[in-house]
Structure 1
Amino acid sequence: MAKARTRREDRPEIILDAAEALLRRSGSRTLTIDAVAAEAGLSKGGVLHHYASKDALVTALAARKVERLRAGIGEHAAALAASRARMPLAMIGHAREVYAEECGFPDSLLIATAENAEAVAGFRSFLAERLRDLAEIEARPGAGAAFLFAILGLMMSRSLGFHELDGAELDRLFGALEAQARALPEG
């Protein structure tokens, strides 16, 4: 199976997986093309063939994260009945799942992304899409944005190490957000 992953068309994913592993293990300061190449078992030229610079690599990592966010929220939304609460509940459900698995937005990717305008633009675009989605279902002005930024604040503050909530505390917070979403009036 390992040999199948070394095919040329698989290399961009192999490189992104290696970069992600480095970020998780050692942080953004160790993310270099040389380190990614060593982690991926490729030459530096092999990495540069797919990602011309560290910035291009970080942009690709951020784009992959955004796609995973879209897919995760979409999966949760598909499992819910149509209602005003559907999108907030889908976002809360996905955030709860990612938070519990501790595979969310690692602080090192957050730091690397913050230093890369193109990567930041991808996240801004994603957030603008979510705000538009939420505005369409708002029964109360600003309610959708409040859900989004409450979830984002919880996730980012964890990534940055501002808190370490235990399971009961986390469950209580997500439960409160879900209750607020379910309380949105229909109409």
Structure 2
Amino acid sequence: MSEKPTTTKDLILDAAETVVARDGTRAMTIDAVAAEASISKGGVLYHYPNKIALLEAMVTRMVTGVRDDIHRAEADAEAAGEPPLPRVIEALLTRTTAAEPIGNAILAAAAEQPQLLEAAGKVLAGEFQRLSAMAPDPVLGQIVLLALDGLKLSSMLGLSHVEELQVNAVNNRLVAMTREMYQ
């Protein structure tokens, strides 16, 4: 399977996420993004006419990526004849522990334009409800999904409540709890 070619829009979004991760949300200006992407300010403005459009695209890309990972994990589980939720939890844990700036889209939007999170929140809430409902114990499914949210938010905000050495143990236990629901 070949890697999807990076578009100029992706390059700009990557640059915006890098600026937010490195310098904070207030530093994410069109000029800063253009400099990080090594393109002209006009090149950024051609694709994203203002900062709000750029923030909206960052959030949309983040939500699409999460939803795609969920659906891919469900398809993989179905192909393997396994229950889907444990595979979904593993996929979401990979996103939580990956050194990716995906949460920067949320941080930037929340700081600059909180209303941009409304549509993302609805999509993710729908996935949350759908995933927890498919569990034999929907309440335990919600607990596991909420734990994932807490791990990601703690990491994004630099509030590491779980020691680095314990992160894998916590992650493994969340997957085990999910698998145990199906036994």
- Aligned with 1:142: secondary structure? helix
Q: Are 2:18 and 2:101, in contact at CA under 8 Å, matched by a contact in 1?
A: no
Matched residue, 1:111? 107
Distance 2:96 2:118 in 1: 24
Task: State whether structure 2 residue 123 is matched by structure 1 residue 126.
Answer: yes
- Greater Cα offset, 22-31 or 165-174: 165-174
Q: How does 1:151-162 map to 2 (within 5 A)?
A: 151-162=148-159
Structure 1 residue aligned with 2:84: 86
Q: Which residue identity does 2:89 align to in structure 1?
A: I
Unaligned 5+ segments in structure 1 are none
Moved over 3 A (4+): 164-168
Matched, 1:56 2:58: no
May I ask how many residue pairs the two structures share in their alignment?
176
Paired residues of 1:98 and 1:104 also in contact (CA < 8 A) = no
Asked if the contact 2:128/2:142 (under 8 Å) is kept, the reply is yes
Q: TM-score, normalised by structure 2?
A: 0.81
Confirm or deny: 8 A CA contact 1:113 1:120 kept in the other structure. Answer: yes
- Determine the structure 2 residue equivalent to 1:174: 171
Q: Give, in whole Å, the separation in 2 of the partners of 1:139 and 1:62.
A: 32
TM-score, normalised to structure 1, is 0.80
CA distance in 1, matches of 2:101, 2:89: 13
Q: RMSD across aligned C-alpha pairs, in angstroms?
A: 2.5
**Cα displacement (A) at 1:120:** 0.6
In the other structure, the counterpart of 1:44 is: 41
